Amino acid sequence: MVLSQRIHDAFKGAVERITGPRTVSAFKEKGVLTPDEFLLAGDNLVAKCPTWSWEAGDPSKRKPYFPADKQYLITRNVPCLRRAGSIEEEYEAAGGEVLLDTADDEDEGWLATHGAPSDTKKEPEELPSMDTEEKEEKRHINIIPSYAAGDDDDAPDMADFEDADNVMRNDDATLETACLFAIEPDDANILRTRTYDVSITYDKYYQTPRVWLTGYDESRMLLSPELVLEDVSQDHARKTVTIEDHPHMAGKHASVHPCRHGAVMKKIIDVLMSRGVDPEVDKYFHLLLHLMSLS
Amino acid sequence: VKEKTSTSSKLMFAPWQSAVDEGFWHQLASFKLETQRLAEHPVPVSGFFAPCSHPQVPSHLQLMEESLPTDPGGHSSESFAVQGNRNKCPVPGTLYNSNTLEGFTGLDTPSLLKITTQQIWEDIQSGRAEETSNLLNRFLLISFADLKKWSFYYWFAFPAVVITPPVTSSSCRPVSEAFDEKESTAIREACSEWRGTPATASSCFFLLHFTSGAVIARPIKDWKLAQEEGGKVIAAFYDPCNISTNPGWPLRNLLALAAARWEVKDLRVLCYREKRGFIDPQLSLIVDVQLPELPEWKAPGFLPKGVGWELNTRGKARPRSVHLAASMDPERMANEAA
């Protein structure tokens, strides 16, 4: 971590310790959330998208302003079907930052249900995406050497036992694992499928949700956070996506930095209100994830 | 990989796959240093999984920070209470963490698998597995934590009772082909009810009972009751597998239970897989299974064979390794932060 980021983190930590969480809604004015609004939006996400769940997380990292069993939100095992390097235009058109399994039929979610044109995705000029914001902010991240998935050949050999009477190493009803890897989508751009756990925490300092990505390789071995950046748009890989400690889980994880979330959400809220749509705070996450092509 | 013909072919099961969160290794390191120390007794752990939810990837049995008991006195109990939910169904496991690399490589892996297979068999015989169906998914983890280098060596097993002669299948097709629209809708509603009710959401095995005009999801312990009440009954399980031609591994022990306890010859099975939190009728499979005659299973003291050590990422029956010095070594982290 570079010095400027560490100083900022120390400052942010100190502010978070001495100030209480926001209690008055400023959703429409500033695009930010109170903890209660975060809970409301989280409950809505879990109810509408059952692949998301609330998590309790590590008891020692619990935030007192949330119930013990509703500390953050997570959805696991989301396939990443494309690598960012190969298809620049598409994600720009989608206004998305991270190329995970972009939703298909049902992800129109909130815009559609509120009478907005269902092809909003094709009108990026109307909805500001994260990348129209803040080109000048250069956040640097420190590169940690790759870790995690060891070459399996460095694992030790096990003692050789005659298979006991009642045990078999493998039987003929076991499907060959080669079959598992034989199923690759036809798209030439698709490498083997990495997967992601996507989580949403509440950032008390920025008063917004914060989205985190934990990556796994095609064998579901941990991916070092730098490799996660491969799946993120190059524009964002070193700026709005940073690698930091997760507030509830162990280790470093890639995160979409929340410093612009409030401003971006405010712009979207203004667009919606100008169309006569009254934005509801409990749909916040649908919109946020939609923006990131994560829903 | 044939299907839809009237002839039967041997049923093959896609092996289950493991995944371990970084948080689990952090927890194991402190568990080893603070609680376990030099003891090597088996430790109850919990794994978690959800039904397959994307056609591109299988769902894994995942170990997380909360997979290990945090209470130092907790190691004596056979299992410990864990918080599960519909996307995190708890599965009981046993961890053997060795003190040394030699101890790890010298572990008698066939015997360990045999012990767990025996537990599963006893749970089937006693009816316990019908009360708590997740017991059918028991798993085994052996490990060695090299805390000087922050390297972890480990190997999973998903013990399955071997049925010989093999189970055959006369048909394996998507739910959308096996049922008409009305039935599909009724199945969808019954499954949603099961998955949406907190008390049943994380129970990985269940029944679908077709009565006049309705389908209801019921716990597997209701098998005999449902038979008496009449109507069609199919067995269902949360299938971690994403392959369109084969069921996943957990079906093996359910079929062992069906053969041993329900004494059925033919069984229709739903391999339950999801899309966006609801049954995916294209991805979910209906498999018509034929079970063989197994007279020797009734003999007192009989113990079936077990199978299930996971292959590594290169397809070999060997342990895996993970190296976490970058995120766990305090000295290295201090240097990088400086």
Q: Write out pLDDT tens, residues A55-104.
A: 998 888 999 999 999 999 999 988 875 543 333 333 333 333 333 333 44
In B, minimum Cα distance to A215 occurs at B21
What's the CA gap between B179 and B243, in Å, rounded?
20
pLDDT at A137 over 70: no
Strand duo B266-272 + B232-238: pairing: parallel
pLDDT tens, position by position, A180-212? 443 333 443 334 578 889 899 999 888 888 989
Spell out the domain ranges in chain B.
13-163+300-337, 168-298
**Size (chain A), residues:** 295
Residue spans of chain B under pLDDT 70? 1-6, 70-81, 333-334, 336-338
pLDDT given for residue B158 in this prediction: 97
Q: How far apart are CA A34 and CA A40, in angstroms?
A: 10
CB of A187 within 8 Å of any CB in chain B?
Answer: no
Mean pLDDT of the region A134-154? 40
Lowest mean pLDDT among A25-39, A136-150, A255-269: A136-150
Nearest to B14 among A168, A169, A180 (CB): A180
Give the mean model confidence (pLDDT) for residues A10-38.
78
CATH 1.10.3720.10 at B13-163+300-337, yes or no: no
Q: Which of A27-36, A42-51, A144-153, B61-70 has the lowest mean pLDDT?
A: A144-153
Encode A59-94: b = buried (16+ Cβ within 10 Å), e = exposed.
eeebbebbeeebbbbbbbbbbbbbebeeeeeebeeb
**Cross-chain Cβ contact A51/B325 below 8 Å:** no
Section A265-284 average pLDDT: 79
- Cβ separation B315–A178 shorter than 8 A: yes
Nearest CA in chain B to A172: B12
The residue ranking higher by pLDDT, B269 or A294, is: B269
A78, A147, A164 member nearest B326 (Cβ): A147
Q: Is pLDDT at A2 greater than 50 in this prediction?
A: yes
What whole-number distance in Å separates Cα of residue B244 and Cα of residue B193?
25
Q: Are A206 and A11 in contact (CB under 8 A)?
A: no
Find, in chain A, the residue whose alpha carbon is nearest to that of B18. Answer: A220
Residues of B in contact with A169 (CB under 8 A): 307, 309, 317
Substitution target in B68, B307, B333, B335 with the highest count of A β-carbons within 10 Å is B307
Nearest to A176 by CA among B267, B316, B57: B316
Q: What percent of chain A has pLDDT over 70?
A: 57
Q: Which residue has the higher pLDDT, B253 or A3?
A: B253
Tokens 């009477």, residue?
A: A165
A36–B contact, CB cutoff 8 A: no
In one-letter notation, the amino acid at residue B126 is S
B72 in helix, strand or coil?
helix
Give A138's pLDDT tier (boundaries 50, 70, 90). very low
Angle formed at CA B263 by CA B258 and CA B267, multiple of 5 degrees: 55
- From A88, A192, A205, A95, select the one nearest A149 (Cα to Cα): A192
CB contacts, 8 Å: B196 with chain A:
50
Does the CB of B303 have a partner CB in chain A at under 8 Å? Answer: yes
Test B87 with A221 for CB contact under 8 angstroms.
no
- Residue A16: pLDDT band (50, 70, 90) is confident
State chain A's mean pLDDT as an integer.
Answer: 67
Q: What is the DSSP letter of B7?
A: S
Give the pLDDT band (50/70/90) at residue A29.
confident
Q: What is the pLDDT of residue A274?
A: 82
Overall residue count recorded for chain B in this entry: 338
ipTM exceeding cut-off 0.95 for this assembly: no
**Is B327 in CB contact (< 8 Å) with chain A?**
yes
In the predicted model, what is the mean pLDDT of residues A3-28? 72
> Which phi and psi (to 5°) does residue A162 adopt?
-60, 130
Task: Check CB contact of A193 with chain B, cutoff 8 Å.
Answer: yes
Query: Does the beta carbon of A53 lie under 8 angstroms from any beta carbon of chain B?
Result: yes
Q: Considering only the top CATH level, what class is B168-298?
A: alpha beta
Mutate to test the interface with A, among B25, B57, B102, B318 (most CBs of A within 10 A): B57
Element (H, E) at B139: strand B139-146
Residue numbers of A annotated as active site:
259
pLDDT at A22: 76
Contact A30, A58 (CB under 8 A): no
pLDDT digits (tens, 9 = 90+) for A222-260: 888 778 777 766 555 556 788 889 999 988 888 887 877
Query: Which one-letter DSSP state was computed for residue A209?
Result: E
Residue A106: is its pLDDT beyond 60? no
Considering only CB atoms, B319 lies closest to which of A101, A158, A250, namely: A158
Where is pLDDT greater, at A287 or A49? A49
Say if the Cβ atoms of A166 and B117 lie within 8 Å.
yes
Using pLDDT thresholds of 50, 70 and 90, give the confidence band for residue A18.
low
Question: B39 CB near a chain A CB, below 8 Å?
Answer: no
- Cα B20 to Cα A149, A177, A200, B154: the distances in Å are 11, 19, 20, 10
Sign of dihedral through CA atoms A32, A34, A35, A41?
Answer: negative
Mean pLDDT of A116-137: 36
The residue to which tokens 């716990």 are assigned: B219
What is the distance between the alpha carbons of residues A141 and A239, in angstroms, rounded to a whole number? Answer: 8
Confidence (pLDDT) at B43 = 94
**What residues 190-209 of chain B have any CB closer than 8 A to a CB of chain A?**
195-196
Omega within 30 of 0 (cis) for the link into B165? yes
Strand partners of residue B49: B89
- Say how far apart CA A38 and CA B22 lie, in whole Å: 27
Taking Cα atoms as reference points, which of A266, A267, A265, A240 lies closest to residue A254? A240
Residue A160: its pLDDT value, please?
Answer: 73
**A214: CB partners within 8 A, 6+ apart:** A196, A197, A198, A199, A222, A228, A246, A249, A253, A254, B21, B22
A108: its two tokens: 């129109």
Q: Do A76 and B166 touch (CB under 8 A)?
A: no
